[in-house]
Chain A
Amino acid sequence: MTTTTGRTPQPSQDALAAIEQPLSKAALPRWAPWGVLAAAVVVALAVLLPGGTSVAAVAVLAGLLHLLLIGVVSRVKEGGRKAADRLVTALVTMAFLIAMVPLVSVVWTVVSRGAARFDATFFTYSMQGIVGEGGGGLHAIWGTVIVTLLATVISVPIGLMTAVYLVEYGGKSALSRAITFLVDVMTGIPSIVAGLFVVALFALLVGPRPRIALMGAIALSVLMIPVVVRSTEEMLKLVPNDLREAAYALGVPKWRTIVKVVLRTSLSGIATGVTLAVARVAGETAPLLLTVGLATRTNFDPLVGQIATLPVFAYYQYTQPGVPAQAGVDRAWTAALVLIILVMALNLVARLISRYFSPKGGR
Chain B
Amino acid sequence: MAKLIDVSDLNIYYGSFLAVEDVSMTIEPRAVTALIGPSGCGKSTFLRSLNRMHEVIPDARVEGKVVMDGQDLYDKDVDPVSVRQHIGMVFQRPNPFPTMSIYDNVAAGVRLNAKRMRKKDMDDLVESSLRGANLWNEVKDRLDKPGMGLSGGQQQRLCIARAIAIRPSVLLMDEPCSALDPISTLAVEDLIAELKNEYTIVIVTHNMQQAARVSDQTGFFNLAAIGKPGRLIELDSTSTIFSNPSQKATEDYISGRFG
Contacts and interface: CB of A to CB of B under 8 A. Distances in A.
Chain B associates with chain A: yes
Interface of A: 171, 240, 242-253, 256-257, 260-261, 264-265, 267, 359-363
A251 B84 contact: yes
A253 B56 CA distance: 11
B148 A242 contact: no
B245 to A, nearest CB: 32
A264 B95 contact: no
B53 A251 contact: no
Contacts of B38: none
Interface residues of B, number: 32
Contact of B97 (A171, A249, A261, A267): A261
Contact of A361 (B53, B108, B146): B146
Nearest to A267: B99
Interface of B: 51, 53, 56, 58, 81-86, 88-89, 91, 93, 95-99, 108-109, 111-114, 146, 148-149, 159, 162-163, 166
Given A250-B108, A252-B81, 14 more contacts: A242-B91, A246-B91, A246-B96, A246-B162, A248-B53, A248-B84, A249-B89, A250-B109, A250-B162, A253-B113, A359-B146, A360-B146, A361-B146, A362-B148
Contacts, number: 86
A265 B97 contact: yes
Contacts of B56: 244-245, 248
A242 B81 contact: no
Contacts of B112: 247, 250, 252, 256-257, 260-261
Nearest to B85: A251
A289 B96 CA distance: 51
Given A257-B112, A361-B149, A250 B99 contact: no
A45 to B, nearest CB: 58
B148 A252 contact: no
Contacts of B81: 248, 251-253
B210 to A, nearest CB: 22
B166 A251 contact: yes
Contacts of A257: 112
A251 B98 contact: no
Contacts of B86: 251
Q: Which of A251, A252, A256, A261 has the most B CB atoms < 10 Å from its CB?
A: A251
A243 B109 contact: no
Nearest to A253: B81
Given A242-B93, A246-B97, A249-B51, A256 B88 contact: no
Contacts of A243: 95, 97-98
Contacts of A251: 81-86, 109, 113, 166
